Amino acid sequence: MSDLPARIEAFLDEFFRFYPLSATAVGMHAFDDRWPDLRPAGRTSRIAFLDRWQSELELAPNFTLAPDERIDRELLVSELEALRFDEVELREGAWDALGYVYMLGGGLFPLLAREFAPLESRLASVAGRLEGIPDLLAAAEAELGSLPDRPASRLHTEMAIRQLPGIAALVDEAVAAAEGASDVPAVAAITPRLAAAAVLAREAIASFGAFLRDDLRPRSSGEGRLGPKLFARKLRHTFRSDISPEQILARARREYDLVRGEMVGIARRIWPEWIPGEPPPNALADGGQEAADERAVRSVLSAIGRQHPSAGNLLERCRASYRGIVDFCRARNLIGVPEDPLEIDWTPPFLREYAGAMLDSPGPLDKGQKAFYFVTPPPGEWTPDQVESYLAEENDRQIELTTIHEGTPGHYLQLVYSNRCPSIVRAVFASGAFIEGWAVYVTQVTIDAGFHADDAALRLVHWKFYLRAITNALVDIGIHAGTMTEKEAMELMVRGGFQEESEAAKKWDRARLTSTQLCTYFVGSSEMWNLERDLRVKAARAAGDAAAAAAIGEPRLLEGFGPTPGFDYRTHLESMIAHGSPPIPLLRRILLDGAGGTS
């Protein structure tokens, strides 16, 4: 037997010391009172740590490793390479001010929101992190704008200024939590330290805000675009494969045309139901067939969009939607739905620029803790027209799809299964492409399984939702590997993707605030469909039906695969998410070759 398990234990212990926020996120709470060392010496130490462990893991001889161990070793090496890329090449800390807001929020919010330990223990960790905020932000100020060839991004700086008050609100929340439990002696004992640390933290946050506003913003001349070479290198680490931007673009453009054609067909079929008494658009009256088809789709979507909850009822609508989806999955035996707790709540303020809805799952070591499905309300300063545009995008049918994506059988369910994986490596080091790809893929699986099968309007909105994944990839690559302008991006999303102006405007910002992440939805789901095809072929061959195996062919986006001998969807879906959240190339090896199929 190899000594790899012991070495992995030693690696993780050291890794969590260098990356304490990752430790908190996965439920390893020994370092909850610490921040990463953002000084140059800290970065040098992290790089040396990464290089040392990569050398050791690469030297582990294959012949001594079990199949499971080979998968885990390969995953760890790829993680070390990605972390080194972040530290040496990407250097986001030098030009992305918003990242520090996310860092602060990610260090404080889980300690307040998750009841993994008594309140006094969590508040002691909060106090430690609050005490560390002045040094953390001093290092951030020294780092921001320090790269001569990559100036600070103006958009990231402006968004950081907007979101920083959300961190001050978390500080206030911690103090309020202590005051609200002042009758508990252990809480009362930690409160003076917490209150003093909060004063220091607020002062440091205010000073950092002034630095961003008065110093960094005037010299923030960057756009945050990576450029084609750096984007391609980051893409390799995102997907752990050699897929190129050009390959993604080619597939995305094919599916863009296919999905839009399907949407035209559905919209014209249901036009009389949704636009009664008005003739459907035609080429002569509307300036050509393309313009007529676009008007048909947009008009029907607009009518569908008028069926939406009020802003105040958005949460309850999502909760009711979730209950109905779980009932459907159980009734159809589509996939096993666990009883692990899920809370549907408003998105914390410091995260509201990132997405309209998101799933925050407990880490694999935080047993019994609840997941949060966050829903973002329309900003309070918006006009009534802006709010209506936002709610039209988040209409009744879109809520169903978003709740599948974020809840069950999407992110929530997948991460529950992932956290049960016996391989700590695969549970801790999660692939964003796997996670986002699964949610897009399984949303379509759910629709294909008959979810509200008699509602053609839902299917139209579903294809619009999938079209968003396609345009996400096109915009991501267009911005970071090309020269896409705001006008071009908005044209693609609003006219091409039938999105509302408000949603598209937020996506334009998000695409510049992130890089490669918006590709993960489309590429990840495409790879999931490719894997399903290959597993169907394997199942048919194992069932002795070579003709059925040969007839399966390429994934058919609109028609599905149809029945396959030896293939059962529940077994398939549960096997896909039973191995943590590994990069999809590793999942292929696990499921197709039996290489490291931990059970």
**pLDDT tens profile 148-180:** 999 999 999 999 999 999 999 999 999 999 999
Q: Over 60: is that where the pLDDT of 1 sits? A: no
Burial group, residue 546, by CB count within 10 angstroms (0-12, 13-18, 19+): exposed
* Helices then strands, each counted (H, E), the chain: 24, 3
**pLDDT tens profile 261-299:** 999 999 999 999 999 999 999 987 878 999 999 999 999
Tokens of 557: 């986006």
**pLDDT tens profile 215-259:** 999 999 999 999 999 999 999 999 999 999 999 999 999 999 999
Alpha-carbon distance 123 to 133, whole Å? 15
- Spatial contact of 347 and 94, defined as CB atoms under 8 Å apart: no
Which distant-in-sequence residues (6+ apart) come within 8 Å of 446 by Cβ? 325, 328, 329, 334, 404, 409
Nearest of 46, 45, 56 to residue 10 by alpha carbon: 56
Alpha-carbon distance 499 to 298, whole Å? 9
Query: Between residues 297 and 599, which one has the greater pLDDT?
Result: 297
Alpha-carbon distance 331 to 436, whole Å? 25
**pLDDT, position 599:** 45
- Spatial contact of 510 and 354, defined as CB atoms under 8 Å apart: yes
Alpha-carbon distance 551 to 201, whole Å? 64
Check whether the bond before 409 is cis (ω within 30° of 0): yes
**pLDDT, position 244:** 96
- Spatial contact of 397 and 304, defined as CB atoms under 8 Å apart: yes
In order of 70, 146, 358, the CA distances from 443 in angstroms are 32, 43, 15
Alpha-carbon distance 205 to 165, whole Å? 8
**pLDDT, position 555:** 87
Q: Over 50: is that where the pLDDT of 392 sits? A: yes
Q: Over 70: is that where the pLDDT of 570 sits? A: yes
**pLDDT tens profile 414-428:** 999 999 999 999 988
Alpha-carbon distance 11 to 49, whole Å? 10
**pLDDT, position 175:** 98
Q: Where are the alpha helices (DSSP H) in 218-313?
A: 228-239, 245-274, 289-305
